[in-house]
Amino acid sequence: MATVQPQESHTSILAGVGARAREAATALRVATTEQKNAALNAAADAVAAHKDEILAANARDVEAAKANGVSGAMLDRLKIDGARFEGVVQAIRDVAALPDPVGEAIESWERPNGLNISRVRTPIGVIAMIYESRPNVTTDAASICVKSGNAVILRGGSEAFETSSALHRCFVEGLAKAGLPADAVQFVQTTDRAAVGEILAGLDGAVDLIIPRGGKTLVARVQREARAPVLGHLEGVCHVYVDGGAEIEKAVKIVVNAKMRRTGVCGSAETVLIDRKVLGSHWPAISKALRAAGCEIRADAEIRKIDADAKPASEEDFYTEYLDAIIAAAAVDGVKGAAMHIAKYGTGHTDAIVTEGEAAARYFLDNVDSAIVMLNASTQFADGGEFGLGAEIGIATGRLHARGPVGVRELTTYKNVVRGTGQTRP
Amino acid sequence: MATVQPQESHTSILAGVGARAREAATALRVATTEQKNAALNAAADAVAAHKDEILAANARDVEAAKANGVSGAMLDRLKIDGARFEGVVQAIRDVAALPDPVGEAIESWERPNGLNISRVRTPIGVIAMIYESRPNVTTDAASICVKSGNAVILRGGSEAFETSSALHRCFVEGLAKAGLPADAVQFVQTTDRAAVGEILAGLDGAVDLIIPRGGKTLVARVQREARAPVLGHLEGVCHVYVDGGAEIEKAVKIVVNAKMRRTGVCGSAETVLIDRKVLGSHWPAISKALRAAGCEIRADAEIRKIDADAKPASEEDFYTEYLDAIIAAAAVDGVKGAAMHIAKYGTGHTDAIVTEGEAAARYFLDNVDSAIVMLNASTQFADGGEFGLGAEIGIATGRLHARGPVGVRELTTYKNVVRGTGQTRP
C-alpha cells in the first residue's frame, strides 16, 4: 500500500506513540535473531517471575468485570488461572523457537546483463493491534510482532486492562535485557475510547498495518474507519459441502467435527450443503450424527421433506455465524450449486468439500475463492498452529498481502535487492 | 486487507460499474490461459485494424488539448504517432506471451497428520486504475489485468478521453472474440471528476485495489482519499551513495547514468551522496562527468569548498524530485551517514550504493529499507521490464503486498488449498 509521511500531531492523546513506534521499528528491523529470541525468552522469564503480581492484576480485572455484570463467557475469556498462566509463558517461548523470517530470500534470479535480483523478507514496520478481553492476546501479539521484527502498539480491551498492563511490563523488561528499545512493544495506557479512533486514523501515518481481534462490532468498526491497511476477518460463515462423490463415513466424521469440535471458533462450520443426488443416501447418517452430538439442524424445504425433525431455515440462517451448536443445511445441485451458494452466503474464510471425485474436487478448489479451501478435511483445521505456522495473530479474509492464517512470516514484506558489478542502463 | 460486502448504490453516476466488474472478475478468475491470451491477441488485432479511427481520435484529443493551452511535455505524452502506435499493439502481444501466474503453487508442504497445504496464486479481483494523459496506459493496464485474471475499471485522463475510448472498444472486441465478459475491462465513460471520488470510495466495496498512475497531485489525492487498498508511489527521490570503497570509474558511470539517462523517470537519481573520505579523490571526476552531460549540481557547503562551480543546495533541494537535469549533492560520514540521510529525505523508492567493500554493501542493503536497494548498479534499472517481469503497471513504495515493480504476478494474491483424506481435528 502507499505510505504517508508521519507528521506527529501534538494535540492527540496518543501524541508521540506513533513516532516512538516508528523509531523502535527501525532498530527492530535490523535486530539479530539472537537479540529477538533473547528478548522473548527474557519476557517469558519475567512473566513467570511476576506470576503473583499478574494473577493479582487479573483478579482485580475479574472483580471489576463481575461488578459490571459481565457475562460468563466473557468472564471466562478474561480469567487467567494456573494452567492458562503456564500456557501464556510457554506460548512466548514457542514463538522464540520459531525460525526468523527476516532476511530470508523468497526468490532470486539473474538477468542477462548480470544483475542479480532477490526478494528478501523484511518486517512490515509498525503494527497496531486492537483487541478485546483475552489478556493472552497481549503476549501472543507482542511475541509474534517482535519475532517478525515489527514494532507493535497494543490496544487491549478495558476489561483486561490491569492484566495486560502487568504482562506488558514483563515484555518491556525482556526487551531491555536484550538491548532492544522498550517502545518496540507499547501498550496504550488508557481505556479512553478516543485512543482507538486515533489508532484507526493511523497515528499520522506511523501505523503500517492494523490488526483487529475480537467481536464483530469491533472488527466492523476497524474495517469501516481504518485509514491504514487492515488484516483480519469479520466473520467465518464456513461451509462443508457433501458432494455426490462423498464417502458417507468421511462425510459424517468431517461434518460433525467441523461443526461440533468447538462451536465458538471462527473455523467452525455454520452451514452444511448436500448434493441432492445423495440427499436420500447420505443425509440420514449425517443428521443422526449431528443430533447425537447435540447439534440443532435448520434445513431448507427439500431436506425437511426427508427429515421431519429439522427446523425450517430462514434466508437469514444461511448468513449467520452461529458460533453455537446449530447448523444450517441446504440441498444444492452438485458442486456448481455449492459454489454458487458459498459465493452468495459465504464470508471468504474457510470452505470444504467432501468427495472422492477428482473433477468435483478440482472445480470446488478452483472456483470457491475463500482464504482457505479444503478437500476431505474439517474446517476446524483453519488455524495457524494446524498449518504449521507455529503461532498465529489471526486469520485474514481480505484479498491482499496475506490470506488465511497470519503468523510471523505473514507479518513480513519484502524488498528488492539488486546486486550489480557496475551495470548502467542503455 | 479486509473485505466489505458490495452494496451497489443506485444514486451514483457509476451505478452498476462495480457490480458488473465483480461479476466479470468471477468469470475471469477461472478463465484459462488460452482464453486470456486469445482475448489479448484479438485486442491487439483490433487495435491494429482500427488504426485510422484511433489516430483520428488521438488527433481530436491533441487538438482539444492545444486549444486548452496544454504544455509541450503533456502534449507529447498524449500524442500517438506511427512508431508509438506499433508499440501499443506490440505491448499487448508481449503481455499475452508472458507466463500465466494464476494457478501457480507458490509453496506446498505436508503436515504430520497427512494434510497437504499449498498456497496457490489467484487473481486479486477488481482493480481500479486511475491515470492521466498517456493513452497507452489504457492498453497496458487492461492487458496486465486481463492476463492476471483481474477485472479492471479504467479511469483515464480527460485529455486522452477520445483515444482511450477508442482503444477500450478494441479491448471489448478482443474479450468478446475470446468469450470473456466485456465488463472485464470497463472504461469510465465520463470525464466528470465526481467519478474519481466514487472510485476512491471503493464503489460500495466492489474495488479490491486502486492503482494511481500520474502526477504527484493525483497520487497524493488517491492515497489520501482511497477507502480501498492503494498500490503505487508518490515520488522517487532516489539516491546514489558513493562509498569510501567505491571504484572511481564505476562511480562516475553509475552516477551519470542514474541521473542523466532519462531525467523524467521515477527511478532517476535526484541526490548523490559521497563519503567524505573520498570527497577529494572521487568528487572531481563525478562532478566533471555530470556537468559534461549537462547536469546542474546543487551541493552542500562541504562539497562546495572543493567545487566552486556547484550551486548551493537548500534543505528543500534534498526533498525534491527534480525529474530534470539537476542533482543535489551532499557529503556524508560513511555508509551510516548515507543511510541516515536516505531515511530522512528518501521516499522509499530506489537507492543505490557504489562500493567494493563487503561490509559497507551489506550495511546499506540491510539498513536502507526502500522498495529497491542496489549495489553497483544504476537506479534507472528500477523498472519491471529490466527486472524481467515482462510488463509493469507501476512501482509500489508502500509496505504491503508488493514492493517495487508491479507486474502480472504482483497483481495476484493466493489462497490456501488444503487436501486431506478425511482428517478431523482432535
Q: Which of A1, A380, A396 sits opposite B229 (nearest CB)?
A: A1
Q: Does B251 touch chain A (CB under 8 A)?
A: no
- Phi and psi at residue A366, to the nearest 5°: -80, -40
* Binary contact (A403, B386; C-beta < 8 A): no
List residues bridging with A329 in a β-sheet. A272, A299
> Which amino acid is present at A306?
I
Which residues are within 8 A (CB) of A213 and not within 5 positions of it... i.e. 6 or more apart?
Answer: A129, A130, A131, A132, A137, A141, A232, A393, A394
Q: Which of A230, A253, A388 sits opposite B109 (nearest CB)?
A: A388
Q: Mutate which of B416, B417, B421 to test chain A, going by most A C-beta atoms within 10 A?
A: B416
Cβ contact A266:A331 at 8 Å: no
Q: Give the span between the Cα atoms of A145 and A367, in whole angstroms.
A: 34
Residues of B numbered 273-332 whose beta carbons fall under 8 angstroms of chain A's beta carbons: which are they? Answer: none
Taking 50 as the pLDDT cut, the residues of chain B under it are 1-10
Cβ contact B237:B371 at 8 Å: no
Q: Which of B125, B418, B419 sits opposite A399 (nearest CB)?
A: B125
pLDDT digit string, tens, across residues B378-420:
999 999 999 999 889 999 999 999 999 999 999 999 999 999 9
Q: Does B396 touch chain A (CB under 8 A)?
A: yes
Q: Give A373→chain B minimum CA distance, Å.
A: 5
DSSP A184-236: GEEE-----THHHHHHHTTTTTT-SEEEEES-HHHHHHHHHH-SS-B---S--
Q: Which residues of B touch A401 (CB under 8 A)?
A: 1, 400-401, 413
Cβ contact A25:A122 at 8 Å: no
Q: Does B165 touch chain A (CB under 8 A)?
A: no
Domains and CATH numbers, chain A: 7-231+406-418 (3.40.605.10), 238-381 (3.40.309.10)
Q: Give the span between the Cα atoms of A397 and B2, in whole angstroms.
A: 6
CA distances from A195 to A19, A191, B233, B329 (A): 15, 8, 29, 42
For the question of an ipTM over 0.90, the answer is yes
Q: Give the span between the Cα atoms of B252 and A290, in whole angstroms.
A: 75
Q: Which residues of A touch B29 (CB under 8 A)?
A: 369
Q: Does B27 touch chain A (CB under 8 A)?
A: no
Q: Give A249→chain B minimum CA distance, Å.
A: 9
Q: Give the span between the Cα atoms of B109 and B117, in whole angstroms.
A: 5
* Binary contact (A254, B424; C-beta < 8 A): yes
Q: Give A390→chain B minimum CA distance, Å.
A: 12
What does each of the 426 residues of chain A score in pLDDT, given as a tens digit?
343 444 444 467 898 999 999 999 999 999 999 999 999 999 999 999 999 999 999 999 999 999 999 888 888 889 998 889 999 999 999 999 999 999 999 999 999 999 999 999 999 999 999 998 789 999 999 999 999 999 999 999 999 999 999 999 999 999 999 999 999 999 998 888 889 999 999 999 999 999 999 888 999 999 989 989 999 999 999 999 999 999 999 999 999 999 999 999 999 999 999 999 999 999 999 999 999 999 999 999 999 999 999 999 999 999 999 999 999 999 999 999 999 999 999 999 999 999 999 999 999 999 999 999 999 999 999 999 999 998 899 999 999 999 999 999 999 999 999 999 999 999
Q: Does A387 touch chain B (CB under 8 A)?
A: yes
Q: Which residue of A has its CA nearest to B2?
A: A398
